[in-house]
Amino acid sequence: MLPQCEEFRRFFVQTYCMYQKCCNFTLKLQTDYILLYKKQMKIALIGATGMVGEMMLQVLSEEKMAISELILVASKKSIGKIVHFQGKNYAVVSIEDAIEAKPDFALFSAGAKTSLTYAPRFAAVGTIVIDNSSAWRMDTSVPLVVPEINLNTAQNSFIIANPNCSTIQMVVALAPLHAKYKIRRLVISTYQSVSGTGKAAIDQLMGERKGEQPVRVYAHQIHENCIPQCDVFTDNDYTKEEMKMVNETRKILGDDSILISATCVRVPIRISHSESINIEFEKDFEIGDIKDLLQNTKGVILSDEPARGIYPTPLQAEGKNEVFVGRIRRDLSHPKGLNMWIVSDNLRKGAATNAVHIMKGLAKKGRVAAN
Ligand code: NAP
Ligand code: 2RA
């Protein structure tokens, strides 16, 4: 081929590729616009006045979800209470009124008892329920969803479970490592913030900080203390929180063979859970490859330059939607062992952000309720 022809061919191919990329980008913008801005959704928040409910409102606003109607529900004592959202006032209504309104989505964060009673009633009127409580997580017919990992499992369900906050942040980082190196065993220690227990626990911490004697949610003072108990104890001497780490991790990663042992500890900080994770893999690995993999994982921010004092802390993670990973190093006691430190905002990725992203993901796939 003449050199000029070859040059022209290259120029033509490059221009055509750029044109294709522009077309794809425009198409994506168009789809996002139609699904998120034109198709307005009717959304109910059950538990709207709680720690997670308030964060749901914040995340809905940040994600610019197009909402045609917002229905806010809390306990009976809060009916009529005014909640501000995007410059408007909304009065809290009863859960019966919310069911009657047949919303497209109902985001639940009002405890397991409320979810067990009312999620099926919303589902029966065609509402897609995304539930933050532990009520449905281990039900085999209910998908347990972290959008980055398994949104596809939620395609046909009317009740979808949001995993436990400490589980979500861990599996976001572990899923790509499991896919490449296969995890055999996990030994987990958590350092969980007080907001994980809800508003009453924050009141306890703040009251104790001021030297008052507030109502105790925990068995002990939390200010200036660490409590090796998150949630109640089960028959095997582990807490419910520790067993959630075991069972939910296996369900989300789709692998019941992973051996898991967890100790969950409540620490006197307001927001963000931290976790020390020891992993034993089946396959050999290089530390550099692990870091590359995490660096390229959606939703993960690698923060790992220990010599410069760079590693994740709860304060840095507060207010962010990502999962922060650092202190990545070989376990000197095991040839296929690895240690890492994972931190995330429990109210965001551990609850509200994950739930809103499930809803957004389903809306994008055209899955808006059948009413
Ligand atoms: P919270 O601050 O105590 O808030 C509880 C919310 O539920 C309040 O809005 C409360 O309304 C409402 N509520 C209570 N009983 C109700 C009922 N019978 N009907 C309707 N609404 C009712 O608790 P939270 O921390 O937000 O947690 C809420 C749920 O999310 C729990 O299931 C929790 O396990 C789960 N979760 C929490 C986190 C976290 O980091 N906090 C993370 C993941 C999952 P009133 O204001 O009227 O009392
Ligand atoms: C906690 N995992 O931090 C809980 C919140 N659902 O206690």
pLDDT tens across 120-150, in order? 999 999 999 999 999 999 999 999 999 999 9
DSSP 306: G
**Per-residue model confidence (pLDDT) at position 305:** 98
Q: Whose CA is nearest to atom 25 of ligand 1?
A: 198
Please name the CATH architecture into which domain 38-163+352-364 falls: 3-Layer(aba) Sandwich (3.40)
Query: What values do phi and psi take at 147, rounded to 5?
Result: -50, -35
Residue ranges of domains in the chain: 38-163+352-364, 166-345
Query: Which of helix, strand or coil describes residue 96?
Result: helix
Q: Which of 186, 125, 189, 132 is nearest to 158 (CA)?
A: 125
The atom of ligand 2 lying closest to the CA of 166 is 2
pLDDT for 4 beyond 90: no
Residue 75 CA, ligand 1 centroid: distance in Å: 9
Query: Which of helix, strand or coil describes residue 120?
Result: helix
Q: Does residue 351 have its Cβ closer than 6 Å to ligand 1?
A: yes
The CATH H-level (homologous superfamily) assignment of domain 166-345 is Dihydrodipicolinate Reductase; domain 2 (3.30.360.10)
Q: Does residue 95 have its Cβ closer than 6 Å to ligand 1?
A: yes
The atom of ligand 1 lying closest to the CA of 133 is 32
Whole-angstrom Cα distance, residue 57 to residue 356?
10
Would you please indicate which residues are annotated as catalytic (active-site) residues? 165, 273
**Whole-number average pLDDT of the chain:** 93
Residue 118 CA, ligand 1 centroid: distance in Å: 14
Give helix 353-364 / helix 51-62 axis angle, nearest 10°: 40
Mean pLDDT along residues 207-229: 98
Residue 81 CA, ligand 2 centroid: distance in Å: 26
pLDDT for 331 beyond 60: yes
* E-assigned strand segments in 169-214: 183-192
Mean pLDDT along residues 63-69: 92
* Structural contact between residues 178 and 252, judged by C-beta atoms closer than 8 angstroms: no
Top mutation candidate among 73, 132, 193, 270 for ligand 1, by most atoms within 8 Å of CB: 132
**Per-residue model confidence (pLDDT) at position 371:** 40
Residue 252 CA, ligand 2 centroid: distance in Å: 18
Q: Does residue 133 have its Cβ closer than 6 Å to ligand 1?
A: yes
Whole-angstrom Cα distance, residue 229 to residue 163?
19
The atom of ligand 2 lying closest to the CA of 165 is 2
